[in-house]
Structure 1
């Protein structure tokens, strides 16, 4: 008899627990677990930001999106200017983004996000909005390195468009370069436009370089001029790369 009673009590307990579980499940469904959400909110309240903190976070997010939008607009503007410049001058090349630049070599070299897979080779010419940027010195399948005309080791044969005075130009590590003339008394004046000349075997003639900013005819061993480079080398984001038939020659 005791054994039967124990079994009966166990069955009754299980039945009661089953009824409670079903009732609880029905109640949760009917109330959409609002009590659990209330308990969760109450427990997590100390970890939630205050209204002031929430406003700061929202404002920070808005500011972040505004900055990203401005950045995209500026990149679009730079690319549009470059494409318009290329179209105006009937040039066809590979448009490449500037993806690498060291603060220690800011005026010496840049890395482009295009390489041999895009048809770029060593010696190709690099142009930016406004004028000559430099030339390709090394290439990987996906990147290229550019020696800027502002690098002191870079030498370019150039000439004065107005008077056809010839010379060569060396970078100064900034947005200017030094042009040394072949003639002892060159016909030159401030504001004269400078372009690549037939003297340069690394660049074809007629590519825009800059304008004369200062003149020193008394310099020895040759008269010289300071040329303001026309391409904004310090803020380059996009460039155009062109084949160069003279890329195997030496200056």
Structure 2
């Protein structure tokens, strides 16, 4: 009787150990099959009450503050550039002629427009035309009562441009859209997205420091020279009124 009980107890103990071994093996297999995901989750739950520690919390705060300060500085710099770019040079009223846009051909939408002032009002071929936001083009032809403006967006139309931050010149070329191409004269333009583009402060063909636009894309690897895509700050497709700047001899 005692012997039978011992055998039964032995079998139960052996059976219990086999279950333990089986469960342990299943656990190991599960960890290996899931690549430790469940184990890591359990480990994370166990450590959650004690992490992050004091030191880690300070590091996190310092990193977060540094990132916020950098972001604020970048936003402040961008805001300053945009403010400079969007502000027109304060010309004397006697140096400009205000005119309304009276015609625009759908076929030549990005090439030219007609204004209601001409030779009788002192408008001459080659004069600079600005709109709200900056330079939009040059006077291409004149009649006694009207004038035709060749826009910066006209394909092939080229004017000199300047990025003050890099002190580099370029040639702004119309592309038939409101984003002309700025081809740089240097092998390395150093231009960045957000740079303000203006006429050169030393320009003699155009009034100096006139706002043109903002750099939206830069390709430094282009051949034969790098270029940028410029968003004009004066939208030629939306302008209704313009101002023609008189030549020095007319002032």
For 2:99, which of 82, 92, 96 is the aligned residue? 96
Matches within 5 A, 1:72-151: 89-92=90-93, 93-151=96-154
Q: Deviations over 1:33-88 (max 9, x none)?
A: xxxxxxxxxxxxxxxxxxxxxxxxxxxxxxxxxxxxxxxxxxxxxxxxxxxx77x7
Aligned partners of 2:117 and 2:207: how far apart in 1?
A: 22
For residue 215 of structure 1, give the secondary structure of its aligned residue in structure 2. Answer: strand
Unaligned runs of 5+ in 2: 1-86
Q: Summarize deviations over 1:95-140 as a string: whole Å, max 9, x none.
A: 1000011000000000000111111111111000001011111111
- In structure 1, the residue corresponding to 2:166 is in which secondary structure? coil
Q: Secondary structure at the match of 2:153?
A: coil
**1:205 is matched with which residue: 186, 204, 208?**
208
1:21 match: none
Q: 1:158 aligns with which of 136, 157, 161?
A: 161
In the alignment, which residue of structure 2 is the partner of 1:3? none
Could you tell me how far apart the structure 2 residues matched to 1:211 and 1:121 are? 29
Deviation (angstroms), 1:244: 3.0
Counterpart position of 1:227:
230
Change (3 A) 1:91 1:164: farther
**Residue 198 of structure 1, CA deviation:** 5.6
* TM-score, normalisation: structure 2: 0.61
What is aligned with 1:179?
182
Q: How many residues align?
A: 162
For the Cα contact (< 8 Å) 1:156–1:200, is it kept in 2? no
CA contact (8 A) 2:97 2:246 kept: no
TM-score (norm 1): 0.61
1:244 paired to 2:247: yes
Stretches of structure 1 lacking an aligned partner (at least 5 in a row) = 1-84, 247-251
CA contact (8 A) 1:158 1:200 kept: no
Give the conservation status (yes or no) of the 8 Å contact 2:134–2:233.
Answer: yes
8 A Cα contact 1:196 1:209, kept in partner: yes
